[in-house]
Structure 1
Amino acid sequence: MTSDLVSVRYLVDEVEAAVEFYTEHLGFTINTNAIPAFADVVRGNLRLLLSGPASSAGRPMPDGTKPGPGGWNRIHLIVDDIDAEVARLRAAGIRFRSDVVSGPGGRQIVFDDPAGNPVELFQPAAR
């Protein structure tokens, strides 16, 4: 393996809505656009694969189980000023799962993309 990119696949209900969300609100850029089935977006070393129901990743399993979005596993985006980012995203209509939580390593908050996949913003503690 030679790529410096780390890839994470998210199943989404609507690829176009997911691309718009990640590019407009979180600073990703489009790498591949095969809407409506698939697209991937990049931010730094993170490549986020957005797979819709028509993609190969969205096909039912042999037992009939259909893959779907959601859960608690999430991408983790480091920010310099979590309060400013939360205010900016709230002004854009983004709803959060909770308020900012503080811990020994820093501060974090979780929100969902349009399909219900969680995204975490994290501001490391000052060292």
Structure 2
Amino acid sequence: MSATIEGILETALYVDDLDEAEAFYGTTLGLVKITRQSDRHIFFRCGPGVLLVFNREETVKPAPAEALPVPSHGTVGSGHACFRVAAENLDAMVQSLRAAGVSIEADFLWPNGARSIYFRDPAGNSLECAEPGLWAI
């Protein structure tokens, strides 16, 4: 039997200000917070998966001896995540983002007819909302 990747369980983004990220992802995007650990990270429920938002400065530090043995990790620069949004809800998402003062950088149809919108979080990460048909086989 061969191993098969079944999907993405979690996606990580890195920010400089967790309070700002908590307000953006929790209030503006409406994701439900699972947990927050001080100024290190916040985890949000995102459909069947999880969005991990790390303070980039804290994540590169080695974990204390009593912590779980997760290796330090992180990145420099902007990341990207795409959220699945039903086609019939994309207009409402655009309106909600604009009402929150978030600029829409792009709103277009892909060659296969699926629609995507692009915007940025306060840390500069490139975020996308796309209808599920974007990656339909």
Alignment TM-score, normalising by the size of structure 1: 0.76
Against the structure 1 CA distance between its residues 30 and 69, is the aligned structure 2 distance closer, same or farther, given a 3 Å change threshold? farther
The CA deviation at 1:14 is 0.8
Against the structure 1 CA distance between its residues 25 and 11, is the aligned structure 2 distance closer, same or farther, given a 3 Å change threshold? same
Per-residue deviation, residues 4-25 of structure 1 (Å, max 9, x unmatched): 9711111111112111111112
Q: Distance in 1 between matches of 2:77 and 2:15?
A: 6
Query: Share of identical aligned residues, percent?
Result: 27
CA RMSD across the alignment: 2.4
Q: Distance in 2 between matches of 1:7 and 1:92?
A: 26
Q: Distance in 2 between matches of 1:54 and 1:70?
A: 14
Q: Distance in 2 between matches of 1:68 and 1:30?
A: 24
Per-residue deviation, residues 67-89 of structure 1 (Å, max 9, x unmatched): 32414x32332233212210121
Asked which structure has the greater CA Rg, the reply is 2
Q: Note the residue ranges of structure 1 that are not aligned, 5 or more in a row.
A: 60-65
Correspondence for 1:77: 84
Alignment TM-score, normalising by the size of structure 2: 0.71
Q: Note the residue ranges of structure 2 that are not aligned, 5 or more in a row.
A: 1-6, 62-73
